[in-house]
């Protein structure tokens, strides 16, 4: 392990840290005259990296060596490929999920599901449990929304990605979702991450809007450590000083993550932009930076949407965006997974039961 130390530490001030390293079982050696780069030799265990990162004299762990962290690319580990329905994320496969921010009513959800399928998209997004900044905003339809998602899946064969907010709801969300979303506001809800890690369904983990890349990866680590390897990371923009866009899409983080972790990384340009007119260019930027997919908010009548209408694009724009995506990923030999044109997986008349 290689660690970078705070500038200007006197020899005596270094002693406690050097003693700690030796007590942890490492040999220590400075690599520079200024005594800022410290190499630790020896076998550690998985608690050591974060213990050293938390030390006040340590600026960063530059090269973690064998850090035992499950997200790490380490030793050239190949990409993890996460399959959702009939598409895949990672390992050269790129896919798109699209749909409304919130599940609002059955007819609209079905219309949007069929619409996104017509654009070649085979994963429908839609929140039944909505994390809203204000308790007075629409909170989602909850269990009724889940039933609508299940019915639309039965009707169309589309795969479902939907958010869970509460560890107590994980089981029932997992019954409906093909892919369970952890939103930006829940990214450090560690009991929820652990519970979702045990749910037996792939996880879509969004980056906390104030999380560093390292913190983002450690959130993923909670899910992985609970035994779930099917984790897709999602960059959805971080908070910045400028309100021109809702958030600041961190394209650099996407490029970094593509190299640093074997997990697939996708981009959510909708929550990054907060404006429908910027969704398409940000989607292009994300894919060009190496993202393995996109998640896009779509609505047939954005002005009446219960949440995030200002960033919802039309189905027509989604079609254009999927064509962009196909062209961009083909530049580096990747493939956009299109919906395979099979008949609905579970035709049913479930629609009537929940209207
Ligand atoms: C959403 O997907 O509608 C959502 C609330 O996203 P985020 O958690 O990224 O804000
Ligand atoms: Mn939204």
CA of 280 to the centre of ligand 1 (A): 18
> Which residues surround ligand 1 with Cβ inside 6 Å?
101, 127, 131, 183-185, 206, 236, 268, 271
User: Measuring CA to CA, which residue among 38, 16, 20 is closest to residue 29?
Assistant: 38
Q: Is the pLDDT of residue 347 over 70?
A: no
0.85 exceeded by pTM: yes
pLDDT of residue 166: 98
User: What integer best gives the mean pLDDT of the chain?
Assistant: 93
pLDDT in tens, 265-281: 999 999 999 999 999 99
3-class DSSP state for residue 211?
coil
**Nearest CA owner, ligand 1 atom 9:** 184
Cα distance between residue 124 and residue 297, in whole Å = 10
- pLDDT digits 0-9 by tens, 6-35: 999 998 999 999 999 999 999 999 999 999
From the CB of residue 54, how many other CB atoms can be counted at a distance below 10 Å? 8
Say which ligand is closest to the CA of 295.
1
Ligand 1 atom with minimal separation from the 295 CA: 2
d(Cα 226, Cα 279) in Å, to the nearest integer?
34
DSSP state for residue 340 in the 8-state scheme:
P
Nearest ligand for residue 164 CA: 1
Under a CB-based contact definition with an 8 Å cutoff, are residues 276 and 310 in contact?
yes
CA 118–ligand 2 middle distance (angstroms) = 22
Q: How far is the CA of 348 from the centre of ligand 2 (A)?
A: 29
Distance, CA 181 to ligand 1 centroid (Å)?
A: 9
């Amino acid at each position: 392990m290689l660690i970078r130390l705070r500038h200007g530490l006197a020899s005596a001030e270094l002693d406690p840290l050097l003693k700690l390293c030796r007590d942890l079982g490492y040999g220590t050696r400075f690599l520079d005259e200024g005594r800022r780069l410290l190499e630790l030799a020896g076998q550690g265990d998985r608690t050591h990296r974060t213990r050293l990162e938390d030390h006040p004299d340590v600026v960063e762990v530059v090269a973690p060596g064998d850090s035992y962290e499950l997200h790490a690319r380490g030793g050239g580990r190949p990409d993890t490929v996460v399959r959702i329905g009939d598409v895949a994320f990672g390992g050269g496969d790129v896919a798109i999920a699209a749909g409304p921010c919130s599940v609002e009513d059955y007819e609209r959800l079905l219309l949007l599901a069929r619409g996104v399928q017509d654009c070649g998209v085979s994963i429908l997004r839609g929140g039944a449990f909505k994390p809203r900044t204000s308790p007075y905003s629409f909170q989602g339809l909850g269990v009724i929304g889940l039933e609508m998602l299940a019915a639309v899946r039965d009707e169309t064969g589309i795969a479902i990605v939907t958010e869970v907010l509460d560890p107590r709801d994980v089981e029932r969300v997992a019954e409906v979702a093909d892919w369970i979303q952890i939103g930006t506001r829940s990214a450090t809800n560690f009991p929820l991450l652990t519970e979702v890690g045990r749910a037996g369904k792939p996880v879509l983990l969004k980056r906390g809007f104030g999380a560093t890349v390292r913190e983002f990866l450690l959130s993923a680590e909670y899910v992985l450590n609970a035994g779930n390897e099917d984790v897709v990371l999602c960059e959805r923009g971080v908070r910045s000083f400028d309100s021109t866009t809702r958030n600041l899409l961190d394209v650099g983080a996407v490029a970094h993550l593509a190299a640093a972790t074997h997990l697939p990384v996708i981009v959510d340009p909708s929550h990054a932009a907060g404006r429908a007119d910027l969704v398409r260019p940000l989607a292009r930027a994300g894919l060009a930076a190496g993202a393995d997919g996109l998640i896009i908010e779509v609505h047939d009548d954005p002005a009446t949407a219960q949440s995030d209408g200002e960033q919802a694009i039309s189905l027509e724009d989604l079609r254009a965006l999927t064509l962009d995506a196909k062209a961009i990923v083909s530049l580096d030999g990747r493939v956009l997974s299109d919906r395979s044109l099979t008949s609905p997986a579970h035709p049913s008349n479930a629609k009537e039961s929940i209207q």
